[in-house]
Amino acid sequence: MAANPNATQPIHTARKSSMSRTQKLLFFVTAWLICLMPFLFWWNTWFGRKLSDQQLNEYLHDAKKPRHIQQAMVQVGERITRQDASAKQWYPDLVRLASDPVEEVRNTDAWVMGQDPTGAGFHDVLLKMLNDTSPMVRGNAALSLVRFGDASGRPQIVALLQPAQIISPQSGHIVDADRPGTAIHQGGLIAKLQYGQEQTAEIRSPIPGRIRSVAGTGANIAAGAEVAVVDPSTEQVWEALRALYLVGQADDLPAVRPYERDLPDISNDVRQQAVETEKAIRERAK
């Protein structure tokens, strides 16, 4: 017997299941934690959170958390720029941290010490930092020394205008690589090199900037050969040009002039600063 399509079909109603109070509570707590965790991460890493004097002391000695040290140093630097005399109590810590094993700590330290040219011991420490293993630390130390009226770091300042040529530490082949034109931060991963018995080395940028060129995936690279070239960031170039405006010499002009070009990757501020820097150098040369 055929079914009648017009016949009314029975409707089966399902009993709605409701969450228990415990389930509702667990759901609420989970949702709350999902929202809370990003906030706690931001709160613990945000340098703008004001620290008390006691916290500054603790953070400056927290060797297990370099970002705590950086956060404390940044806030000491802010007190210096406000001419807050309380900042002087941490000057011995700034001198001590100039030899910290963490590059980012030394880099921040070099910048902070440049905020007070009268700081006891700062000048001598910054001179030593011109020989640091990190190009960024050397550059920041040189920039800070300009505030002391000291042009000893002029070669390091000129180097800040140059692209970073990254050399392969081993012979091998590229198994992964970023693309040219990609913006990259200091320590950012550019490529992965496979060598030996399936061993992999990470090729990272020593400076912030933009990848000009990089060996493609699958390329064979010899030890000591160029893997990538990174152009310095706009901020780095601008600071270097400002410093050379004050201490630059005629020999520095070949490094300055490329930034006077009207190109999309050179900002108007940088271009104008390069022009003004060349004028200042030429005036001094007279």
Going from the first residue of the chain to its last (286 residues), give the mean pLDDT of each consecutive group of 10, the final group possibly shorter.
42 51 62 48 51 93 93 94 95 97 96 95 97 96 97 97 95 94 94 90 95 94 96 96 97 97 90 97 92
Domain closes at, from 159, 178, 202: 159
Inter-residue contact 205 to 166 (CB < 8 Å): yes
Q: Count how many domains the chain has.
A: 3
Same domain? 94 vs 110? yes
User: Do residues 186 and 91 both lie within one domain?
Assistant: no
Collapsed DSSP state (helix, strand, coil) of residue 184: strand
CATH number of domain containing 65? 1.25.10.10
Task: Report the distance separating Cα 182 and Cα 160, nearest Å.
Answer: 19
Q: Which amino acid is at 123?
A: H
Query: Do 176 and 129 sit in the same domain of this protein?
Result: no
Range of the domain at 59: 42-159
- Does residue 22 belong to any structural domain of this protein? no
Please tell me the distance from the alpha carbon of residue 132 to that of residue 140, in angstroms, as a whole number.
Answer: 11
| 124 and 74 assigned to the same domain | yes
Cα atoms in the 13 Å half-sphere on the side-chain side of 214: 26
Residues 47 and 143 grouped into a single domain: yes
Res 23: pLDDT: 65
